[in-house]
């Protein structure tokens, strides 16, 4: 298993633990206490910040924003009851499709 898988799994376990055992002062526990709407708002905010960082073309800020987005996506998975293994399984299934190009549609823009 790649090290990044272990890192994501370890982070997801911490997130699940914060959900099950809220800790005073924990940002993750705070997100769960605020519910799905707050979590979704944070995912949207981090996605926007990731887009801006990508447009600015600097790797370090982009990396930080991507990490923030991934963290909030994992919180969303936990809140929604979606196991991380389900996400990995879907990614594996999609990876097997690499190379299966879809037919590009041609559009007649003159009519």
pLDDT tens by residue, 78-108? 999 999 999 999 999 999 887 766 667 777 7
Domain boundaries, the chain: 3-95
The more confident residue out of 100 and 33 is: 33
Name the architecture of domain 3-95.
Orthogonal Bundle (1.10)
- Distances in Å between the alpha carbon of 33 and those of 19, 55, 95, 101, 102? 9, 33, 35, 43, 43
Six token digits for residue 67? 């990490």
Spatial CA neighbour of 38 closest among 71, 70, 66, 79 = 79
Confidence check: pLDDT of 8 > 70: yes
pLDDT in tens, 34-74: 999 999 999 999 999 999 999 999 999 999 999 999 999 99
């Amino acid at each position: 298993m790649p090290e990044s898988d272990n890192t994501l799994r370890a982070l997801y376990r911490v997130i699940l633990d914060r959900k099950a055992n809220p800790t005073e002062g924990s940002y993750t526990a705070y997100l769960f206490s605020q519910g799905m709407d707050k979590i979704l708002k944070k995912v949207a905010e981090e996605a926007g910040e990731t887009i801006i960082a990508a447009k600015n073309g600097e790797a370090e800020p982009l990396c930080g924003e991507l990490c923030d987005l991934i963290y909030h996506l994992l919180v969303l998975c936990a809140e929604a009851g979606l196991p991380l293994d389900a996400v990995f399984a879907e990614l594996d299934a999609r990876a097997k499709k690499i190379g299966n190009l879809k037919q590009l549609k041609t559009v007649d823009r003159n009519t």
